[in-house]
Copies of this chain bind each other. A is one copy, B any other.
Amino acid sequence: MRPGLAPTRRRVIRKPSARLAPRERILAAARELFYRDGIRAVGVEAIAACAGTNKMTLYRHFSSKDALISAYLNRLSDESDAVWEEARRAEPGNPGAQLRWLLRRVSQFADESSGRGCALANAAVELAGRRHPACRIVEAQKRRTRERLVALCREAGFAHPRELADELFLLVEGARVSLQSVGPRGPGSRLCALAEALLDAAPKVNHKV
């Protein structure tokens, strides 16, 4: 083992065009099926088949279905965090533009998505009552999102950042959940317009409107 490399990096990307490692394919399959059909409705065998492998290999990478669920939610949470970084890079030094960038992102996601709402929130619903550690993942992610929203609203110079952030948060969550329950042509489709109007009307700190 050479210094600076992970010890005996096994399966070093067989070929550039080779398919991903089984663990990644399983996570991708879980992501697709969990989101589309629901966590409880999908069996581990279906996930393994969708990943082009089998149940044994799945259980060699994840100790249980619950562990797979947690890994799935952790990945979703990480990707959600990445979106915030993306917004920061897209509109550097401009918190207001970052806010609007994020809103548009959520809106277009809502359009292109299969209308199944927020995968994290759906998981929290399906894992009800259970002291499943996965629920903690969802809660932590949502809490972080809320805090980030408050911070961004404050940086953008709004007079009441917490109130504005909570209102935006509820609008976004409501849009996603109603996308699931009332359909893609429901009020969720107006999220972008409503949120933008809200931002336009919100008072700033220095100059009263």
What residues make up the interface of A, taking CB atoms closer than 8 Å to B? 36-38, 40-41, 116-118, 120-122, 124-126, 128-130, 138-139, 142-143, 146, 163, 165-167, 169-178, 180-183, 186-188, 190-191, 193-194, 197-198, 201
Contacts and interface: CB of A to CB of B under 8 A. Distances in A.
9 contacts: A40-B41, A117-B125, A143-B182, A143-B183, A163-B194, A171-B171, A171-B174, A173-B181, A174-B174
Given A41-B129, A170-B174, A181 B139 contact: yes
A121 B180 contact: yes
Contacts of A121: 125, 177-178, 180-181
Contacts of A38: 40, 125-126, 128-129
Contact of A142 (B116, B171, B186, B191): B186
Contacts of A176: 177
A182 B40 CA distance: 21
Interface centre among A124, A125, A197, by most B CB within 10 Å? A125
A129 B36 contact: yes
Contact of A126 (B40, B130, B170, B198): B40
